């Protein structure tokens, strides 16, 4: 299958890209971002696109794809709701609406998060905005759409966050991941899990549209 990947330079996107390049079921990957991903492969094509509110200049290059893995996102820490909503909802839907028009048979997979509020009416700002984004994506005319809601994601195989604070936090937390996973009943998954699960869901489907940690781990196990 042919895959479009958003956010390939971020921590989750790096891990997903690695799995796409390794999996023989993925024949081509088009990475779209504001900067190029630090990877080269015969499967990989890249488009650097600055204006994520408008994908009309790229419409001619976005047809004929089987899946989109949308891994682009930011932390809500320190952000006003309007700014967070612009990045999380507006930019995601600008891309998704264009892809739905060009690829009605596409499977669209979005990285959301544990605790997302499907009612979009709760007290938590980020959870409301994520819930609104999920709901809007599920309403688009894709063949299938899945919302991935991972908890703690452990970077693997040299994958690193672009954010210095997160890199430092992961460095400190790495020895604690096995203990956290044991105490919190499997709350930790890896970037390898996320990538493998996305490919499996795109290739063979999943049992439901909202996929929590345990569902992602189960899909990753099927992929393996």
> For residue range 22-40, what is the model confidence (pLDDT) as tens digits?
999 999 999 999 988 888 9
Evaluate if residue 149 carries a pLDDT over 90.
Answer: yes
Question: Residue written as tokens 């001619």?
Answer: 60
* Contact in structure between 116 and 152 (CB atoms under 8 Å): no
pLDDT, greater one: 162 or 183 = 162
Class of domain 2-223: alpha beta
The tokens of 67 are what? Answer: 């899946």
Reading the block at residue 169, the tokens are 């936090």
């Amino acid at each position: 299958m042919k895959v479009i990947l958003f956010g390939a330079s971020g921590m989750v996107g790096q891990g997903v890209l690695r799995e796409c390049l390794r999996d023989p079921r993925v024949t081509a990957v088009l990475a779209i971002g504001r900067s190029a991903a630090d990877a080269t492969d015969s499967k990989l094509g890249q488009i650097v696109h600055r204006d994520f509110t408008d994908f009309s200049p790229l419409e001619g290059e976005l047809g004929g794809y089987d899946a989109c893995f949308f891994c682009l996102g930011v932390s809500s820490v320190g952000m006003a709701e309007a700014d967070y909503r612009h990045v999380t909802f507006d930019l995601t839907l600008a891309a998704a609406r264009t892809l739905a028009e060009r690829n009605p048979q596409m499977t669209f997979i979005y990285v959301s998060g544990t605790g997302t509020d499907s009612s979009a009416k709760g007290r938590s700002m980020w959870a409301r905005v994520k819930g609104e984004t999920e709901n809007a994506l599920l309403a688009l005319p894709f063949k299938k759409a899945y919302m991935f809601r991972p908890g703690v994601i452990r970077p693997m195989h040299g994958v690193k966050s672009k954010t210095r604070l997160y890199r430092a936090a992961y460095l400190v937390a790495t020895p604690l991941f096995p203990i956290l996973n044991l105490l919190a009943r499997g709350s930790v998954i890896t970037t390898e899990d996320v990538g493998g699960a996305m490919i499996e869901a795109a290739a063979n489907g999943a049992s439901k549209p909202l996929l929590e940690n345990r569902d992602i781990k189960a899909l990753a196990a099927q992929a393996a």
